[in-house]
Structure 1
Amino acid sequence: MVISQGAFAVMVFTDRWFMSQIDSVHIAAAMGGGVASFFCLSLFIGLISYGNALVAQYYGAGMYPRCTRVVSQGVIIATASLPLLAVTAYGMGQAFSHLGHDPRQVPLERIYFYTLMGGGFFHLVKASLATYFVGIGRTRVVMAVDVAGICINVPLSWMLIFGKFGLPELGIVGAATGTVVAQFITILLFLCFYLAREHRHQFSVGESLVFDRGVMRRYLRLGVPSALESFMNNGTFNVFLLLFQGYGVVQGASMAIVFNWDMVSFVPMMGLNIGVMSLIGRFVGAGDMTRANQVIASGFILALGYSGTLAVLFLLFRVELVDVFATDDAQFAEIRVLASAMMIGLTTYMMADAVLLIAGGALRGAGDTRWVMWTSTTLHWAMLLAQYFVIIVWELDPLVSWWVFVAMLLAIAACYWVRLYRGRWRQPERLARVMQE
């Protein structure tokens, strides 16, 4: 799962690096449009992705036919989401011109965003299939499909952005189009594994293609808090990003560069988060909490070791890492100074990311989604309120805003750690309620 999530990081990283070959306005536009599209999808991604824990719980309990019914309910949710996604996409697309962004940036953000949203349904269906295979422990399937997807996406985006091999030169639209095409192809690859004869027989795939009231009820009861958390947190992050980009192109490009390197740390650790959630769900279903403890300990060792190593490297080579995205325009000297300073904040919260991802994965896998939702969203909204005063009311320096964001991540990690350590989430009566349909 680390390799699988790392493939996603490579995809976003290379898209923005290709944009840097054009100019800094394109970097900022790719950041703004990409985050806005993920925000619009985040409610349904958060809900569908909780299928990982549901499948793992059924698998641990030996209820194999229920596993594939989770996939069917996920596709039903994705289909039902289409009208709302269309309305949300239109409204968000019109909002770019009212956020105080550079006039050169707005049309680029909008067209990049619309293209990504055009493939939103593919994103949701892919998430449903991927979380299923993770839930039953076949993570090599997810790795193989995601690596194949990135091998398609990167060269295709390059050809479409710069007009290579007879293809039209589409610029930022080419980056988004390459992503959408690659997502569709990965769905076809997943279906090859899902519809294989041995798998169909073991998990009763043919009988799963129905609406299942009991499975859907569990999906909504446990998944909606996770979905609301994802949606509200992405909403606050998206507004923070858009407010920060209101400082100007220099600040927007600086943030895009720093978050590109953040993905090198954060996204692979999301693979650990997904793995921990799946394994905790499996052992909750099997009633084996001793093994759950071993999963949590192993997750912390891997995540803290990985993020700690990268934090040291990012701190020592922060200027050189920023220069990877150097552009020819005169603004990059200012971008270098600001982004290098922001890299210090990045190295400060990377270890906190490791804690909150492992602890959060364990809590979600055990069905403690309501506590996670309330805690995380409360701190995110407190951060956004502080950002409003820092950026809009008091007009403070961009670095002040950045350190407010860092402080929020440190606070969330501390709260998750305390919840995990106290252990209320593992009480037998709580776990019994989690398994009820």
Structure 2
Amino acid sequence: MFSLFTLKELFRLALPMVVSQGAFALMMFADRFFLSRIDSVHVAASLGGGVTFFVSICFFTGIVSYGNALVAQYYGRRTLEFCPRVVTQAVFIALASQPVLLLVTLLVAQSFSAIGHDPSLVALEKPYFQVLMAGSFFFLVKNGLASYFTGIGRTRVVMISDVIGVLLNIPLSYALIFGKLGLPALGIVGAALGTVIAGILTIGIYALFYFNRIHVEQFKVRESFRFDRSIMRRYLRLGFPSGLEFFISMATFNIFMLLYQSYGISEGAAMAIVFNWDMLSFVPMMGLSIAIMSLIGRHVGAGDMSRATQVISSGCVIGLTYSGVLAICFFLFRVDLLEVFASPGEDFSAIRDIGSKMMIGMACYVMADAVILVCSGTLRGAGDTRWLMIASIAIHVVMLLVQLVVILVLEQGPLVSWSVFVATLGLNAVIFAGRVFSGRWRQPERLARVMAH
């Protein structure tokens, strides 16, 4: 069922989120571009250290992010006073995560050398990772606030806050990397520090909207600053599978990435550059997925499943159109896009050779990414997080096992490993689409359990 009205509604809600997520992609893009001005080792280290950071916090990020669906469901039910209570519980979760994340920081920092990375790479990956982990509490709180405003449909607040944060981050990171404006030249540590500082400033911008007098009165914010056992129980019941699924999928991806980087510096740098361009597709599509989760959650809360069907079809139209255009660009201009990251004075031929073939693979899977994100946003919004967890974990674990065989046992080359990765994303898209269009997630008795406290 397709509705032009719902398409417009989703587009209005998703566009600020796409801009917001795109701003994040731009921030990462800028950091890696600045680091490429030093050398290709810094680029590879920023990918290894950055992805390892996201893996380390993604379990808690997945739980906190589910606040989007919870808030949207309460909003759809018109129980507005419950919405800010979700934010308070998210802060409690962020606080509770800190001892665990401190232990993770100490243990994971040793993994870069244990997996066989070049010592020059390890020397950069480790401090980059540690500085980002030091700011983990702020990243989680920022995520909780963004999820809240998305859940109540005020995605422009998210866009404004995140865009301002990125506009602060880019010059700050540049100054800290290269030692401008009287600041010390910290190299890759400066890139991480700039990201943390910008994240803290972004929380301040969110707070201006959150504590606005009209908003405080409408949503009874003053009464929300307490532990709410029933909301926390529901948060963990539905958010835990989401967090575990996010963690396993990111962990297996990170292990694959680290294994792939063991092919050599050129292969690792090529992967970093390809994924940098991939972010311009994947990260904005995450914005669409977040908007879909919010709208689906709202319609589930209101009991209007016909509108939920319209959201799915509209999401497919937007996602496949956007990713299809980018796929064509990635294929036609693959060499030119790689050359953007050529470090001055270095021989770029090896990176160009492997990277151009990887770009073809990326052009093949970006539309599969769009299907995955539309479907996962739908299932999360409807509370079908347990199935999503089981399916995603199974797919990613099988992918990793195959990669271990390909890379370590059969000792195949990087392009064979990359082909397996591309095929896995295609299979993932087919399985997720099958679940969404089977309709089992929308059974009334199952939705009633989702909404129960």
Output the CA distance in 1 between the equivalents of 2:216 and 2:324: 43
Output the CA distance in 2 between the equivalents of 1:43 and 1:332: 37
Alignment of 1:395-434 (within 5 A): 395-434=411-450
Output the CA distance in 1 between the equivalents of 2:67 and 2:191: 29
Alignment of 1:150-189 (within 5 A): 150-189=166-205
Work out whether 1:30 is the aligned partner of 2:46.
Answer: yes
Q: Which structure 2 segments of 5+ residues have no match?
A: 1-16
Partner of 2:248: 232
Contact 1:300 1:358 in 2 (8 A): yes
Output the CA distance in 2 between the equivalents of 1:191 and 1:428: 37
Cα deviation for residue 416 of structure 1 reads 0.7
Work out whether 1:5 is the aligned partner of 2:21.
Answer: yes
Partner of 1:219: 235
Q: Which amino acid aligns with 1:163?
A: G
Q: Which deviations, in whole Å up to 9, do the C-alpha atoms of 1:337-381 show, x marking residues without a partner?
A: 001100011011011001010011001100000111111110100
Q: Which amino acid aligns with 1:39?
A: V
Q: Which amino acid aligns with 2:129?
A: F
Partner of 2:143: 127
Contact 1:226 1:370 in 2 (8 A): yes
Cα deviation for residue 84 of structure 1 reads 0.2
Cα deviation for residue 329 of structure 1 reads 4.9
Output the CA distance in 2 between the equivalents of 1:176 and 1:103: 20
Work out whether 1:354 is the aligned partner of 2:370.
Answer: yes
Partner of 1:104: 120
Cα deviation for residue 103 of structure 1 reads 1.1
Q: Which amino acid aligns with 1:210?
A: R
List, as ranges, runs of 4+ consecutive aligned residues in structure 1 with deviation greater than 6 Å.
none
Alignment of 1:296-315 (within 5 A): 296-315=312-331
Partner of 1:295: 311
Q: Secondary structure at the match of 2:263?
A: coil
Partner of 1:265: 281
Q: Which structure 1 segments of 5+ residues have no match?
A: none
Percent of aligned pairs with the same amino acid = 60
Q: Secondary structure at the match of 2:412?
A: coil
* More displaced 10-residue stretch of structure 1: 289-298 or 151-160: 289-298
Cα deviation for residue 331 of structure 1 reads 4.2
Q: Secondary structure at the match of 2:120?
A: coil
Output the CA distance in 1 between the equivalents of 2:272 and 2:131: 20
Output the CA distance in 2 between the equivalents of 1:343 and 1:350: 11
Q: Which amino acid aligns with 2:43?
A: I
Q: Which deviations, in whole Å up to 9, do the C-alpha atoms of 1:248-270 show, x marking residues without a partner?
A: 11110000000000000000000
Q: Secondary structure at the match of 2:180?
A: coil
Q: Which deviations, in whole Å up to 9, do the C-alpha atoms of 1:202-229 show, x marking residues without a partner?
A: 1111111111111011101110000000
Work out whether 1:379 is the aligned partner of 2:375.
Answer: no
Alignment of 1:36-185 (within 5 A): 36-185=52-201
Cα deviation for residue 328 of structure 1 reads 3.0
Output the CA distance in 1 between the equivalents of 2:114 and 2:231: 42
* More displaced 10-residue stretch of structure 1: 38-47 or 386-395: 386-395
Contact 1:23 1:329 in 2 (8 A): no
Q: Which amino acid aligns with 1:52?
A: N
Work out whether 1:321 is the aligned partner of 2:337.
Answer: yes
Q: Which deviations, in whole Å up to 9, do the C-alpha atoms of 1:294-321 show, x marking residues without a partner?
A: 1111111110000000000110000000
Cα deviation for residue 169 of structure 1 reads 0.6
- The normalised TM-score by structure 2 is 0.96
Cα deviation for residue 83 of structure 1 reads 0.2
- The normalised TM-score by structure 1 is 0.99
Q: Which amino acid aligns with 2:293?
A: M
CA RMSD of aligned residues (A): 0.7
Contact 1:19 1:27 in 2 (8 A): yes
The equivalent position to 1:392 in structure 2, one of 408, 411, 417, is 408
Q: How many residues align?
A: 437
Cα deviation for residue 330 of structure 1 reads 4.1
Q: Which deviations, in whole Å up to 9, do the C-alpha atoms of 1:401-427 show, x marking residues without a partner?
A: 111111111111000111111100011
Output the CA distance in 2 between the equivalents of 1:17 and 1:328: 12
Contact 1:2 1:271 in 2 (8 A): yes
Q: Which amino acid aligns with 1:179?
A: T
Output the CA distance in 1 between the equivalents of 2:285 and 2:247: 20
Q: Which deviations, in whole Å up to 9, do the C-alpha atoms of 1:26-82 show, x marking residues without a partner?
A: 000000000000000000000000000000000000111110110010000000000
The equivalent position to 1:21 in structure 2, one of 16, 37, 46, is 37
Contact 1:250 1:331 in 2 (8 A): no
Q: Secondary structure at the match of 1:325?
A: coil
Q: Secondary structure at the match of 1:225?
A: helix
